[in-house]
């Protein structure tokens, strides 16, 4: 039985070998792979798809879902999640244009930047 005495009814088991595990845990305030968080990434892709499809009201709703996913997930600090949601919202607001201009750009294929470009820890 590889190091253990056989267990018999009424007798305690004896362990002839023992081992220990030492672990060191460390917390970090910044997460270098923040843009790879699955829930946040999926919510951002939804924003991209709706923006490209020129569905303004649906994109607005998706921005709300993105904010909720970022703030309620356990992957980011609350301050960082709020900052990320604000940055993605600001990106959308900077791209949103009056309807005639948006329609003209639609032919060129409007682009909403990838999540990593939100630069969470930058200014």
User: CB-based contacts of 118: which residues, under 8 Å, 6+ apart?
Assistant: 35, 84, 87, 88, 91
Q: Is 119 or 10 the better-scoring residue by pLDDT?
A: 119
Residue 26 lies in a domain: no
Residue 20 lies in a domain: no
Residue 72 lies in a domain: yes
Q: Is 121 or 9 the better-scoring residue by pLDDT?
A: 121
d(CA 109, CA 95): 13
Number of domains in the chain: 1
Residue 55 lies in a domain: yes
Residue 2 lies in a domain: no
Q: What residue ranges in 14-54 does DSSP mark as E strands?
A: none
For 72, the domain range is 34-118
Residue 103 lies in a domain: yes
Global pTM value? 0.67
Residue 24 lies in a domain: no
pLDDT digits (tens, 9 = 90+) for 5-39: 555 666 555 555 667 888 888 777 788 888 899 99
């Amino acid at each position: 039985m590889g190091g253990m005495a056989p267990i018999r009814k009424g007798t305690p088991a004896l362990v002839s070998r023992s081992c220990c595990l030492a672990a060191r845990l460390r917390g970090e305030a910044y997460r270098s792979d923040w843009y790879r968080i699955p829930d946040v990434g999926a919510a951002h892709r939804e924003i991209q798809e709706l923006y490209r499809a020129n569905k303004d009201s649906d994109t607005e709703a998706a921005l709300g879902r993105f904010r909720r996913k970022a703030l309620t997930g356990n992957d980011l600090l609350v301050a960082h999640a709020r900052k990320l949601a604000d940055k993605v919202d600001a990106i959308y607001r900077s791209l949103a244009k009056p309807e005639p201009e948006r329609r003209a750009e639609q032919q060129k294929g409007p682009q909403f930047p990838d999540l990593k470009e939100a630069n969470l820890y930058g200014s």
